[in-house]
Amino acid sequence: MPQHIVIIGNGISGITCARNVRKQSNDDITVISSETEHFYSRTALMYIYMGHMKYEHTKPYEDWFWQKNRIQLVKDYVTSINVNGKNVLLQNGASINYDKLVIATGSVSNKPNFTGINLIGVQSLYGMPDIELMNENTRGIEKGVIVGGGLIGIEMAEMLLSRNIHVTFLVRENFYWDNILPKEEATLVSNHIKEHHVDLRTATELKEIKGARKVKSIITNEGEEIACEFVGITVGVSPNISIIKNTEIEADKGVLVNEFFETNIPDIYAIGDCVQHRNPPPGRKAIEQIWYTGRIQGETLAATLCSKKTAYNPGPFFNSAKFFDIEYQTYGKVNPQQGENETSFYWEHKNGRICFRAVYRKDNEAIIGFNALGTRLRHAVCDKWLQEKRKIDDVMSNLDQLNFDPEFCDHYEKEILSAYNKQTMKNIKGKKRRKLSLFNW
């Protein structure tokens, strides 16, 4: 007898789970979601606003895909979950029974309690409705302020610049994102932000938003008033747990799950942004709101749902972003401040737009993390070396294997290695680099 698996949320985690269940079983699958009819890539929202793509380009599967794979899509909002009757109630009044329920409701933007937060022109960015609102709010304006120096903040800054809107960027930290990035990287990115003529105000917080109906200006914690017609609030996101608040499903900041993504109620699971792990895997956060994590969790839960009970076992952490023109990749563990038994090697190109960091243990010199800005690293190699706990010297002499930069790019392996040798007073030799790949046979 096929069971009926109901998934709330058609984001990356819910959809990955649905697809992988379909690959492994004949179960009935229903995905209920209210934001859009089809799965689209949330990470591409900025490009819709900037006019690089339209909504339809951001859909990773063609519309016929769902029917062909017998994944039933319901565009509606789940208002409540009836844990005892094993059904969910939709806003249109219908109810849907489930054998297994997956909560993949994602996040909501944090909305701090500033005076003026509800004025027209003040908004955050999480979903498609926000893009439409931002279109309205920024039509024909000249000045915007972004509050909060995270990844969505810098995306919003780039979005505004694409429409020739001047941006003042308020960041509480001393450098952009220095609560995640070590100081050197944070400085590099901060400089690049300024290169794009963004008025970056570090160590500055928002105190108040002023205006009658529409926003007119903001006041910083230093008392300065900055005129603006738009305020982007990007002070983080929180798990979206509104529909489980009044149920017996346990939640703290997010829906609480064990390593099998089981909630405290049998047959109810949760994955993705909305999740808070009771026992996160070693070195990982209890709440990890990133795309890749949602995908990996969706894959893992699908196995469990298809009676191959599988614990969450992510490999080394990785993430990526793009700060205007500078790509960022990170693998393993790179803390903003080095831990007790950690040390790191950092190299920066003299143009101030490219850097590389390798973090390793002091005692056994095993590699524990990489950061790269403006240069690309090969994921497969990073993953392998991190799992093998390669020695830093070995890493440094094989940098060419790590590199993923495009053909004809300048290569910096030699420079990086000699900087490493100088810094550590070693004399490591690089393994010979392959010839330019376009010309070798």
Partner 1 sequence: MVPPTTTNPSLSLTEEGNEQTLYQKIGGICIAIAVLSLVAAISGVGGAYSFLLLTIIIGMFTLGVVSYALPYYKGPAGIRNNGIMFKTMTNRGTIAWIFAIVLTGFYIIIYWFPWMFEGLIRIFDPLSRLLTNQPANQWFMYGAFYTLAVLTMGIRFIGKNRNSRYHVIRTFSVMFFQLGFAFLLPMFLKKLNEPEFYFSYFWPLKFSYLFPSDVSSLINSGSLGVFMVFWGAVMTFIATPILTYKYGKRWYCSWVCGCGGLAETAGDPYRHLSDKSLKAWKIERWMVHSVLVLITVITILLWLNSYYKGGILGSVSGPFAQWYGFFIGGVFSGVIGVGFYPIMGSRVWCRFGCPMAAILGIFQRFKSRFRITTNGGQCISCGNCSTFCEMGIDVRSYAQKGQNIVRASCVGCGICASVCPRGVLKLENGKEEGRINDKPITIGNNHITVNL
Ligand X SMILES: Cc1cc2nc3c(=O)[nH]c(=O)nc-3n(C[C@H](O)[C@H](O)[C@H](O)COP(=O)(O)OP(=O)(O)OC[C@H]3O[C@@H](n4cnc5c(N)ncnc54)[C@H](O)[C@@H]3O)c2cc1C
Residues within window 206-265 making contact with ligand X, judged by CB under 6 A: 240, 243
Which span sits near partner 1 by CB under 8 A: 126-134, 145-153, 246-254, 262-270? 126-134
Could you give the 3-state DSSP secondary structure of residue 357? Answer: strand
Contact between 101 and ligand X per CB under 6 A: no
Binding residue for ligand X (CB under 6 A) from 34, 162, 397, 421?
34
Q: First vs last Cα of the chain: how many Å apart?
A: 56
412, two tokens:
């910096």
Q: What is the CA radius of gyration of the chain?
A: 24
Pairing, β 255-257 against β 342-348:
unpaired
- The residue from 43, 179, 310, 398 that contacts ligand X (CB under 6 A) is 43
Q: Contacts with ligand X in 386-425 (CB under 6 A)? A: none
Examine residue 404 and tell whether it contacts partner 1 (CB under 8 A).
yes
Please list, residue by residue across 36-70, b when 16 or more beta carbons sit within 10 angstroms of its beta carbon and e when fewer do.
bebbbbbeebbbbbeeeeeeeebbeeeeeebeeee
| Mask for 171-190, x = binds partner 1 (CB under 8 A) | --------------------
- Per-residue mark of binding to ligand X, 302-341 (x: CB under 6 A): -----------------x-x--------------------
Out of 361, 379, 391, 433, which residue is the one contacting partner 1 (CB under 8 A)? 379
Q: Is 419 in the site for partner 1 (CB under 8 A)?
A: no
Spatial CA neighbour of 371 closest among 321, 415, 418: 321
Q: Which is nearer to partner 1, 51 or 93 (CB)?
A: 51
Any idea which residue has 């931002």 for tokens? 134
Could you say which residues in the range 103-162 bind ligand X, by CB under 6 A?
104-107, 125-127, 152, 155
Check: CB of residue 208 under 8 Å from CB of residue 171.
no
Judged by CB under 8 A, the number of residues near partner 1 is 81
Region 36-95 residues binding partner 1, contact defined as CB under 8 A: 36, 41, 43-44, 47-62, 76-77, 91
116-121 LR contacts (CB < 8 Å, sep 24+): 116/208, 116/209, 116/210, 116/211, 116/215, 117/209, 117/233, 119/209, 119/211, 119/213, 119/214, 119/215, 119/231, 120/211, 120/213, 120/214, 120/215, 121/211, 121/214, 121/215, 121/229, 121/230, 121/231
Binding mask 346-365 for partner 1 (x = CB under 8 A): --------------------
The span of 10-18, 249-257, 327-335, 409-417 binding ligand X (CB under 6 A) equals 10-18
Give the C-alpha distances (Å, rounded to integers) separating 76 from 136, 195, 259, 406: 25, 44, 29, 44
Per CB under 8 A, contacts with partner 1 among 275-294 are 291-292
Shorter beta-carbon distance to partner 1: residue 23 or 426:
23
| Binding residues for ligand X (CB under 6 A) | 8-14, 32-35, 42-43, 45, 77-78, 104-107, 125-127, 152, 155, 240, 243, 272-273, 289-292, 294, 319, 321
